[in-house]
């Protein structure tokens, strides 16, 4: 049944790919991927993929442009090697926050990336917690949009079962996401009312809408980058009497001094998934807990291969 199923990974998140392969019971394919001295990338697929249903596991995380270019070259190599179907498993979709033209003379880079992946020869994309739902519509090929909420739900139900929880969205834009987790945990919802005054973490928090006093607050968002915005909300929760403050973010970009900022913040623990690998000093943080999406991806890959519904993953 799975004889034509092949798994391949680039260099962006090999630990996740290896874990997915273990859950799926399918070995990773043999691939050479390196850079020449002139900084050009080279790919060679060493396994026979003719007529195969190939799944390429490659988030477009840091270094974003290298990860994206490697993905495009892998797709092209598979296409020229006569793979029957090329499925791109992109747990973290880089450039996702550039999803609209909100200023004069700026690009919609998320759409450009979708066009590049499609033009390169991809037949399907599997991704996790897109920053904006409309990115699915940027593709002219099928997109399976998976969510990590069930993974966070299982963890918090097992570890915070006797606590009075409130799920907090850092802003109104993420309210629907936070509401989904709150519904699964059967708890209340609060929303941070903030105004953005510049780029990245230059924001001014105005208020927390909802009752958080004496409760265990779970800040829930899709991406943590510098952590500035999230920490400002955490400080407001502390001011308004939250007894404990946790943060749960799907994609741990953690750029710049994010880890140091988290360590010095009121946030007791930061829960992230392994869509992006933890590297360097990030591994040493005492506050970061990483939850795995590998089993979810393995199930999705096998069900897509045999043309079965993946709706079980949303329960």
Which sequence positions are flagged as catalytic?
194
Alpha helices in the chain (DSSP H): 14-24, 64-80, 109-120, 149-159, 175-185, 228-239, 258-263, 294-305
How long, in residues, is the chain? Answer: 315
d(CA 166, CA 209): 12
Residues 136, 130: contact at Cβ < 8 Å? yes
261-266: which pairs have CB atoms within 8 A and are 24 or more residues apart?
261/226, 261/227, 261/228, 261/231, 262/227, 262/231, 262/287, 262/288, 263/287, 265/227, 265/231, 265/234, 265/235, 266/231, 266/234, 266/235, 266/237, 266/238
Q: Which of 70, 93, 89, 76 is nearest to 28 (CA)?
A: 89
For 212, list phi and psi in degrees, rounded to 5: -120, -5
Which of 81, 21, 32 shows the shortest CA–CA distance to 55?
Answer: 21
CA dist 43 and 15 (Å) reads 19
Residue among 224, 236, 247, 276 at smallest CA distance from 59? 276
CB atoms within 10 A of CB 208: 21
């Amino acid at each position: 049944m799975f004889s034509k199923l092949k798994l391949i990974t680039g260099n962006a998140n090999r630990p996740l790919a290896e874990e997915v392969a273990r859950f799926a019971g399918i070995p990773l394919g043999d691939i050479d991927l390196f850079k020449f001295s002139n900084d050009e990338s080279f790919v060679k697929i060493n396994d026979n993929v003719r007529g195969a249903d190939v799944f390429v596991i490659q988030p477009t995380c840091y270094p974003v442009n290298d990860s994206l270019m490697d993905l495009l070259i892998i797709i092209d190599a598979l296409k020229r090697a006569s793979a029957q179907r090329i499925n791109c498993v992109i747990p973290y979709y880089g450039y996702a926050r550039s999803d609209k033209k909100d200023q004069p003379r700026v690009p919609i880079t998320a759409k450009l990336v979708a066009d590049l992946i499609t033009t390169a020869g991809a037949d399907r994309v599997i991704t996790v917690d897109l920053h904006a739902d409309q990115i699915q519509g940027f593709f002219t090929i099928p997109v399976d949009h998976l969510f990590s909420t069930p993974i966070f739900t299982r963890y918090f139900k097992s570890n915070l079962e006797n606590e009075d929880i409130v799920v907090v969205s850092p802003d109104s834009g993420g309210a629907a996401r936070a509401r989904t987790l709150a519904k699964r945990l059967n708890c209340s919802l609060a929303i941070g009312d903030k105004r953005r005054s510049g780029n990245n973490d230059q924001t001014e928090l105005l208020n927390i809408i909802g009752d958080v006093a004496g409760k265990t607050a779970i800040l829930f968002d899709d991406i943590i980058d510098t952590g500035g915005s999230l920490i400002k909300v955490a400080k407001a929760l502390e001011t308004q009497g939250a007894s404990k403050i946790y943060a749960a973010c799907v994609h741990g970009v953690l750029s710049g001094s994010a880890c140091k900022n988290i360590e010095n913040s009121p946030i007791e623990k930061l829960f992230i998934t392994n869509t992006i690998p933890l590297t360097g000093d990030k591994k040493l943080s005492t506050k970061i807990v990483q939850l795995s999406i590998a089993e979810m991806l393995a199930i999705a890959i096998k069900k897509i291969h045999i043309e079965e519904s993946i709706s079980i993953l949303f329960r």
